[in-house]
Amino acid sequence: MNTVCVFLVVAVFFSKNQWLTYAESQIIGNAGMHSRPDVVNIGSILTLDSIVGKVAKIGLEAAVEDVNNDPTILSGIKLKLTVHDSNFSDFVSIMEALRFMETESVALIGPQSSVLAHMISHVVNKLQVPLLSFTATDPTLSSSQYPFFVRTTHSDAFQMAAVADIVEYYEWKQVVAIYTDDDHGRNGITSLADQLAAKRCKISHKAPIKPESTRAEIREVMLQVALMESRVIVVHTYVNWGLDILEVAQDLHMMDSGYVWITTNWLSTVIDTSSSANHPTKFFSNMQGVITLRSYTKDSQIKSKFAKKWESMTSLGMSTYPLYAYDTIWLLARALDNFFNQGGNISFSKDPELKDSCGGFFNLDSLSIFNEGKLLLKNILQVKMNGTTGPIEFTSDKNLIFPAFEVINVIGTGFRRVGYWSNSSRLSTTLPETIPNQTNSSGLLHSVIWPGQSVKKPLGWVFPHNGNQLRVGVPKQVSFKEFVEQIKETDMYRGYCIDVFTSAVNLLPYAVPYKFYSYGDGYHNPSLSDLVSLINAGVYDAVVGDTAITTNRTRMADFTQPFTESGLVVVAPVRRLNSETWSFLRPFSAKLWCVTVVFFLVVGAVVWILEHRINDEFRGPPRQQFITALWFSFSTLYFSHKQNMMSVLGRVILIMWLLVVLIISSSYIASLTSILTVQKLSSPIEGINSLQSSKDPIGYQQSSFVRNYLIEELGISETRLVPLNLPEDYEKALNYGPHNGGVAAVVDERPYVELFLSTRCQFSIVGPEFTKTGWGFAFPRDSQLAIDISTAILKLSENGELQRIHDKWLTRSACSSQGTKFAVDRLELKSFKGLFLICGVACLLALFIYLGLIIRQYTKHKPDLSEPSRPNLKSGGLKTFISFVDEKHDSARARFQKRIKERYKNDLSVKGSQNHKSKKRIDS
């Protein structure tokens, strides 16, 4: 409201003779309330001395003429367009907007500037007059803060998305943004930053140019840009300043090979409108190799008809601005036609708040509110039509559908279209309308001729030529000098890490001058974490050395691709395991031996139980039966058992047990063979887990990150940790052992350990590697040099140079124990637990089935206790059952059959006696 007040105050002084009284305006307002007026007033604010203003005015007037001559639209109502020239003055533009409000205009077209669109939108919001603009492309104008602002072109948000896709397509990571320091420039570049961030790219430097800057001020800004590392430059500004920027860039040799220039559509406007000028070379000489965007307009009969008419109206080339201006008038005409068809009336009324809001001091009664402004706005947003630019329709967020751009490469005195961009198909060489609803970019653009007449894609980044060398920090190590070592009495370095770095730098497509600076006192190993932190402090531009890539260090700097693998391992003393008297027992652990013997006995007993009643080979005196069962069980170890299985259950158990025996014996033979034929090493330390559970001291390399890792990550007490400086200190501490002032083991990175063990066979790595890292070179955050060095390291790895450097510095004559294997753990019970479990369950199941069958047979064949031949069974049923189980199956079956026969004879005798008595009774 305060903004509106200021505008109105200024307007009073600018046009005080034109203000009407409240009563007069009310009469005029009432008189204007009729359904179909003869004339509808609309206004436009343009900068007529600008290229855009000139062509836009022609397009607007041509559209008004065509609408008024078309009997199918507005039913005879004429549009009256009043164009005011702002003459590059923001003040005049605001005043002209307020003057239109006095003439009861139903819509305002313009202004050209996004800055003025922000200001005037506050006025039209209050007076409810739609503001249509085909030039104000600031993305923030689409917000709900400006409900009466309607953009009849595409927002810069889409244009910036196209620029970001181009940057991503050519694999550039950083750009420099040059823009006008106003709402149009700042908000557009903010949108570009968001689009780049989504693609993991960024704006490395922003170069704002003040509005109305002089050539000297532009040159000063461009000198700063020339010192930047990034060579990808995006220019988002207005036509006049854009041409000055390119001209200054040409003078500063910033249009030479290696640079990339991408501009928004202001440059395509220059190209289009100047294509038929008398001396076009003055425009094109400073644009060679530039990539620019141009709004894509679909070819149609409407567009062709307007293009022919354009040639008869002006000698200027036709850009996209007159097309959007022409369509804007037709859009408004169709909305007004629908507005009147719905019964809308053009009427205005007074709002007392306009007077009261400024304290009633100024006469503001001449300003009126468009009563039906909301209805007209609704009709504008609902229009669907085909115009010179293609289909016109608004989305729910008031943006035009189908945003698309042409990607243009400026060459000679013209241009070459290298592709298209649309919101649906992204980058493509195919017309956008031919691939609708495509979500993935085809990833194709035609070849581009870059600045300097180069056809090779620019790298997009160079080392800054400011006379300064790259300051490279190198640790002054006192141990393991094969990795990094300073040559005595010189400032030169050598070693594995140094050779990798210099080889990678030599592969870069640009020169990188550098100088090594030592870090450390030469008596103790320096802290590499402290060295990396000096990059943030600005002391060094890079760190080269045996620097492990850890989490804490990545928070301080960016690292290259690892040039060697690393990880923490445990080193401990080992002893050789030689063959001895009881070596044959070593393959199995004690538990496994015990369980195996028990299962031999159990299986023998189960088989004896299943076969005892039916198999004569498992019968006889108790001593003989025990020996038979024992012999059968252990003879299966060699598959030499001679007893035949008579029962089905016995055969099943035998087959399963033979499978168990086969697996166990094969494992035993393989393990024993390895023990007796391969030399083994043994250590009481089995790895990091055994170190954690013990209380023995642990050695580590002094100033290494290992100390913090063991304390913070593994929870090992600080009092157990012993710092060691030299490889000789490692050897001495390990030989002394934990009970004589030494250490039980040393924890260090694998490259150091492998070098240490190459000549010390009494030690070895025990247990697996328990971290996985790598060594890399450190650079400042978001350094392009880190990316290029990473690419060079990959090339070194692919061409074999990295391996040759490794062999040069780190390959040593291995001691005899290098081919020796570390002692393999004995075969434990857990390795065969499942096998024994299956066998045990099978035995139990067989016994249960057998018991059920015996009980069933017992109830059927049990002996008669009254038989005189079995006086010893009268003591109880249990003994009878045991005797039945021990009895041979054939004997029980024969006894049962004998009993059946005797019962049958008894039944016959009883029946005969009864028949004799009956006959005798009948005879009597």
Return the minimum-mean-pLDDT range out of 134-148, 243-257, 599-613, 676-690.
676-690
Backbone torsions φ then ψ of 901, nearest 5 degrees = -65, -40
Query: Which segments of 199-335 are extended strands (E)?
Result: 202-209, 232-236, 260-263, 291-295
Q: Which of 677, 697, 718 is the last residue of a domain?
A: 677
Q: Collapsing DSSP states into helix, strand and coil, what is residue 752?
A: helix
Check pLDDT > 70 for residue 161.
yes
pLDDT given for residue 166 in this prediction: 96
Higher per-residue pLDDT: 677 or 140: 140
pLDDT given for residue 633 in this prediction: 74
Higher per-residue pLDDT: 574 or 503: 503
Check pLDDT > 90 for residue 541.
yes
Sign, CA dihedral 353-358-364-370, equals: negative
Statement to judge: residues 520 and 662 lie in one domain = no
Residue 890 lies in a domain: no
pLDDT given for residue 804 in this prediction: 95
Statement to judge: residues 291 and 411 lie in one domain = yes
What token pair was written down for 881?
Answer: 């059952």
pLDDT given for residue 656 in this prediction: 83
pLDDT given for residue 306 in this prediction: 95
Statement to judge: residues 102 and 205 lie in one domain = no
Write out pLDDT tens, residues 883-901. 666 666 555 556 556 666 6
Check pLDDT > 50 for residue 826.
yes
- Side by side, the strands of the sheet bearing 174-180 are 202-209, 174-180, 232-236, 260-263, 291-295, 404-411, 414-422, 426-428
Max CA-CA distance within the chain? 166
What token pair was written down for 917?
Answer: 């008595």
* Separation between Cα atoms, residue 862 and residue 134, nearest integer Å: 111
User: In 459-471, which positions are buried (b, 16+ CB within 10 angstroms) versus exposed (e)?
Assistant: bbbbbeeeeeebb
pLDDT given for residue 904 in this prediction: 60
Return the minimum-mean-pLDDT range out of 339-353, 603-617, 653-667.
603-617
Check pLDDT > 70 for residue 50.
yes
CATH number at residue 55: 3.40.50.2300
Statement to judge: residues 167 and 294 lie in one domain = yes
Check pLDDT > 60 for residue 13.
no
pTM over 0.85: no
Total count of residues recorded for the chain: 924
- Whose tokens are 């709004």? That residue is 295
The CA-CA-CA angle for residues 776, 782, 787, to 5°, reads 50
* Domain enclosing residue 707, as ranges: 567-575+682-772
Q: Collapsing DSSP states into helix, strand and coil, what is residue 470?
A: strand
- Whose tokens are 């990339």? That residue is 260
* Separation between Cα atoms, residue 360 and residue 366, nearest integer Å: 13
**Looking at the 3D structure of the chain, how many domains does it have?**
5
Write out pLDDT tens, residues 581-619. 676 777 788 888 888 888 888 887 888 777 777 766 776
Check pLDDT > 90 for residue 422.
yes
DSSP 8-state code for residue 720: G
Residue 628 lies in a domain: yes
Average pLDDT over residues 740-745: 94
Cis peptide before 684 (omega within 30 of 0): no
Calculate what percentage of the chain has a pLDDT beyond 90: 49
Check pLDDT > 90 for residue 443.
no
DSSP 8-state code for residue 526: P
Residue 786 lies in a domain: no
Determine the angle formed by the axes of helices 889-923 and 833-861, rounding to 10 degrees: 20
Check pLDDT > 90 for residue 653.
no
Higher per-residue pLDDT: 819 or 517: 517
Residue 632 lies in a domain: yes
DSSP 8-state code for residue 208: E
Distances (CA, A) of 888 to 865, 883, 885: 18, 10, 8
Q: What is the 3-state secondary structure (H, E, C) of 40-105?
A: EEEEEEECCCCHHHHHHHHHHHHHHHHHHCCCCCHHHCEEEEEEEECCCCHHHHHHHHHHHHHCCC
User: In 273-285, which positions are buried (b, 16+ CB within 10 angstroms) versus exposed (e)?
Assistant: bbbeeeebeebbe
* Separation between Cα atoms, residue 151 and residue 14, nearest integer Å: 29
CATH number at residue 760: 3.40.190.10
Check pLDDT > 50 for residue 818.
no
Residue 889 lies in a domain: no
Confidence band, pLDDT 50/70/90 cuts, at residue 33: very low
Check pLDDT > 90 for residue 35.
no
pLDDT given for residue 577 in this prediction: 58
What token pair was written down for 852?
Answer: 């059920």
Backbone torsions φ then ψ of 700, nearest 5 degrees = -150, 160
Confidence band, pLDDT 50/70/90 cuts, at residue 315: confident
Backbone torsions φ then ψ of 835, nearest 5 degrees = -65, -45
DSSP 8-state code for residue 636: G
Statement to judge: residues 760 and 686 lie in one domain = yes
Distances (CA, A) of 487 to 481, 482, 490, 876, 900: 10, 12, 6, 102, 112
Write out pLDDT tens, residues 485-533. 999 888 899 999 999 999 999 998 888 889 999 999 888 999 999 999 9
Statement to judge: residues 149 and 136 lie in one domain = yes
Distances (CA, A) of 260 to 227, 230, 450, 666: 15, 9, 7, 71
Statement to judge: residues 655 and 669 lie in one domain = yes
Q: Which residues, 6+ apart, have CB-to-CB distance to 802 below 8 Å?
A: 500, 563, 793, 796
Write out pLDDT tens, residues 82-99. 888 877 666 666 766 666
Number of Cβ atoms within 10 Å of the Cβ of 213:
19
Write out pLDDT tens, residues 672-706. 777 666 555 667 788 898 899 899 999 999 989 99
Cis peptide before 111 (omega within 30 of 0): yes
pLDDT given for residue 496 in this prediction: 96
pLDDT given for residue 668 in this prediction: 81
Statement to judge: residues 288 and 191 lie in one domain = yes
Cβ atoms 108, 45 nearer than 8 A: yes
Statement to judge: residues 615 and 711 lie in one domain = no
Closest CA to 263 of 168, 186, 159, 184: 159
Statement to judge: residues 716 and 741 lie in one domain = yes
* Separation between Cα atoms, residue 607 and residue 629, nearest integer Å: 8
Residue 824 lies in a domain: no
Q: How many Å is the Cα radius of gyration of the chain?
A: 49
* Separation between Cα atoms, residue 765 and residue 767, nearest integer Å: 7
Which class for 911: exposed (0-12), middle (13-18), buried (19 or more C-beta within 10 A)? exposed
Statement to judge: residues 124 and 269 lie in one domain = no
pLDDT given for residue 221 in this prediction: 95
pLDDT given for residue 782 in this prediction: 82
Calculate what percentage of the chain has a pLDDT beyond 70: 79
* Separation between Cα atoms, residue 472 and residue 287, nearest integer Å: 39
Higher per-residue pLDDT: 609 or 202: 202
Residue 478 lies in a domain: yes
Backbone torsions φ then ψ of 821, nearest 5 degrees = -90, 145
Sign, CA dihedral 766-771-774-779, equals: negative
Closest CA to 571 of 393, 745, 749, 446: 745
Q: What is the dihedral of CA 788, 794, 800, 802, to 10 degrees?
A: 70
Query: Which alpha helices (H) appear in 548-694, and where do they start and end?
Result: 551-554, 590-611, 622-635, 648-677, 688-693
Check pLDDT > 50 for residue 110.
yes
| Summary mean pLDDT of the chain | 83
pLDDT given for residue 24 in this prediction: 39
Q: Which of 722, 756, 772 is the last residue of a domain?
A: 772
The winner for highest mean pLDDT among 31-35, 123-127, 537-541 is 537-541
pLDDT given for residue 820 in this prediction: 46
Residue 908 lies in a domain: no
Check pLDDT > 80 for residue 192.
yes
Q: What pairing do the DSSP bridges indicate for beta strands 558-559 and 773-775?
A: unpaired
Cβ atoms 34, 340 nearer than 8 A: no
Q: Which of 737, 772, 807 is the last residue of a domain?
A: 772
Statement to judge: residues 164 and 292 lie in one domain = yes
pLDDT given for residue 457 in this prediction: 92
